[in-house]
Amino acid sequence: MKVIKNINNNVAVCLDSKGMEVVAFGKGIGFKKAPYDIELSRIQKTFYNVDTAFISMLNDIPVDIINISDDIIGYARDKLNTPLSSNIVFTLADHIYFTLERYEKNIKIRLPIVNDIQHLFEKEMDIGRYGIKKILKEKGIYLPQDEAAYIALHIINSQERDRNTEDLHNERMIDAITRIIEDEYGIKVNKEDFNYSRFVSHIHYLLKRGKKQELMKSDNDKIYQDLVREYPKTKETAETISRYIEKNIQVRLNDEAQLYLMLHINRLCTREGCYQ
């Protein structure tokens, strides 16, 4: 196998014997300057058909989190007959990493449709519960059942389906929301980067829940107020986006949904250099 691009010391983009591009994991495989050949015995895991937008995030997420995600997705593939997106290991790893960060800061967001997921998607919910147990075993952190439902949602959304009219409408709204952020901060968002793909997936979720009048609820008022004080510009941007959402789908975002929106605006903007 030939290494053609190093991501970090332990991750590299390679070409296999058939010339197909693959993301490979292995201790020290990315240490030497590319290109060069490497023995297959040094490679521990490989991932095919990975979107280039997701490769850049591999420096941001610890390998142990990716390993946890890979284990969960392996379990999911055994449980389900539906093909899953080739990028799901990385999107789920990013979600798990963000979830653990939230819990360290005591930010708990309750998913209002947990009961619906439990009844309508039993297999996916079982995968979510497996994921919670895996995280507890590997990281020693206990997450509540709501988080099992979040994992289930990632599995549901990764099952390959044709895009419908609602998805296309949401994509147009997300384009407009992105332009609002660009105008507010005077930046140009890199839409080829994983950072933006992550932002898009979370705004898709917010719009879908909003259209069903199923906005998240919890007891994060103090965290919301602290975030407003620390990032007033983010609050202003969130309010502008909220007015746009209300105008287009007649849904007023509550404080909890605004907190969710602010967290992801802030996360996008930190990576895009808005605060420099």
165-272: CATH topology: PTS-regulatory domain, PRD (1.10.1790)
Hey, which CATH number is domain 63-158, 3.40.1160.10, 1.10.1790.10, 1.10.760.10, 3.40.50.720?
1.10.1790.10
Cα of first residue to Cα of last residue in the chain, in angstroms, is 41
**CATH 2.40.420.20 for domain 2-48:** no
Contacts within 8 Å (CB) and 24+ apart, 266-271: 266/227, 266/231, 266/234, 267/98, 267/195, 267/198, 267/199, 268/181, 268/189, 268/195, 268/196, 268/199, 269/181, 269/185, 269/187, 269/234, 271/193, 271/195
pLDDT given at position 274: 67
Domains 63-158 and 165-272 share a fold: yes
Give the pLDDT score at 57: 77
pLDDT at 4: 93
The pLDDT assigned to 162 comes to 47
- Cβ atoms within 10 A of the Cβ of 258, count? 20
> What pLDDT does residue 49 have?
86
Q: Dihedrals φ, ψ of 48, to 5°?
A: -95, 160
pTM over 0.75: no
Phi, psi for 81 (deg, rounded to 5): -100, -5
pLDDT recorded at residue 114:
74
Domain ranges of the chain: 2-48, 63-158, 165-272
Identity of the amino acid at 179:
R
User: In whole angstroms, what is the distance from residue 111 CA to residue 100 CA?
Assistant: 16
Within 10 Å of residue 109's Cβ, how many Cβ atoms? 19
DSSP 3-state assignment of 15?
Answer: strand
pLDDT in tens, the chain (276 residues): 899 999 888 899 999 989 999 999 998 898 888 899 999 999 999 999 888 777 877 878 888 999 999 999 999 999 998 888 888 999 899 999 999 988 888 887 766 667 767 777 889 999 999 999 999 999 999 998 889 988 998 898 887 554 566 777 888 999 999 999 999 999 888 887 777 877 887 888 788 777 766 665 666 778 888 888 988 999 999 999 999 999 998 888 888 888 889 988 988 887 666 655
Q: What is the pLDDT of residue 160?
A: 58
